[in-house]
């Protein structure tokens, strides 16, 4: 056991970059998957809607921790070695795909059906109709819940510590095991998470109020 020093604090704060980078990668991966799922859920093909709905049920109905375990250990069954970084990015991206897909599906369906009918009357086929008429309106509606989910995703990266990925929480655990100052260390980690997440949460609430005012 040793004393907690400034180098330990900087080590913990330095791990924040891995938390943010993992969040960005997972959000980008989730955005790609979520877009495909949202389009499948609102598309014309029943078999695509069924597959997308099943995917959402699986990932929304199981713990994120379990999903990270499977992303880390399941490839080993097939003789594929996966490092903690890859497993964390994959697990969080698949998790984000399910939630973002459902958020964006709801935003697409909230757009008045008359907009789609008017675009069809003008001769626009499915893809031009979605790209030029429906999606631009859905994006504005989807911003608040998307930002809100991003906050949850940032906090969810702390679970990646369980598979050995050294992000903010894991770095704090390492230093705490060496110094045993849990209140100081994890209090600092909580403060860092708050500083990162609170502005995003405030922005999400402001956008919700703005959209509610426009709806009136």
Taking alpha carbons only, the member of 134, 94, 90 closest to residue 115 is 134
CA 22 to the chain's CA centroid: 10
Q: Is 66 helix (H, G, I), strand (E, B) or coil?
A: helix
- Tell me which residue range forms the domain holding 155: 6-215
- pLDDT at position 93 is 98
| Residue 58 domain-assigned (yes or no) | yes
| Residue 1 domain-assigned (yes or no) | no
The CATH number of whichever domain residue 111 belongs to comes to: 1.10.3720.10
| Residue 17 domain-assigned (yes or no) | yes
Contact 151, 200 (CB under 8 A): yes
Cα dist from 210 to 73, 151, 179, 203, whole Å:
44, 19, 47, 10
Sign of CA dihedral 107, 160, 54, 28: positive
- pLDDT at position 111 is 87
Structure tokens at 19: 């938390």
| Residue 133 domain-assigned (yes or no) | yes
- pLDDT at position 20 is 97
Number of domains in the chain: 1
pTM of this prediction?
0.92
| Residue 128 domain-assigned (yes or no) | yes
What's the average pLDDT block by block, 10 residues per block, for the chain (216 residues)?
88 96 97 96 91 96 96 91 94 97 94 82 81 86 93 96 94 94 95 96 86 62
| Residue 152 domain-assigned (yes or no) | yes
Taking alpha carbons only, the member of 46, 45, 44, 30 closest to residue 102 is 30
């Amino acid at each position: 056991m040793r004393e907690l020093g400034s180098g330990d604090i900087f080590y913990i704060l330095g791990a924040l970059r891995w938390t943010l980078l993992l969040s960005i990668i997972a959000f980008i991966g989730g955005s790609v998957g979520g877009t495909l799922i949202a389009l499948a859920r609102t598309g014309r093909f029943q078999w695509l809607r069924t597959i997308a709905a099943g995917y959402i049920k699986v990932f929304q109905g199981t713990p994120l921790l379990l999903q990270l375990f499977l992303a880390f250990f399941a490839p080993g069954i097939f003789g594929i070695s996966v490092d903690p970084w890859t497993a964390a990015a994959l697990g969080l991206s698949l998790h984000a795909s399910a939630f973002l897909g459902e958020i964006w599906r709801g935003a697409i369906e909230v757009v008045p059906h008359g907009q789609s009918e008017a675009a069809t009357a003008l001769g626009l086929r499915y893809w031009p109709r979605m790209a030029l008429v429906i999606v631009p309106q859905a994006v504005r509606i989807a911003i608040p819940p998307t930002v809100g989910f991003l906050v949850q995703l940032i906090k969810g990266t702390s679970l990646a510590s369980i598979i050995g990925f050294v992000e903010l929480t894991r770095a704090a655990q390492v230093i705490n095991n060496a110094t045993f100052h849990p209140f100081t260390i994890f209090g600092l980690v909580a403060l860092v998470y708050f500083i990162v997440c609170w502005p995003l949460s405030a922005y999400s609430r402001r956008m919700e109020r703005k959209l509610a005012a426009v709806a009136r």
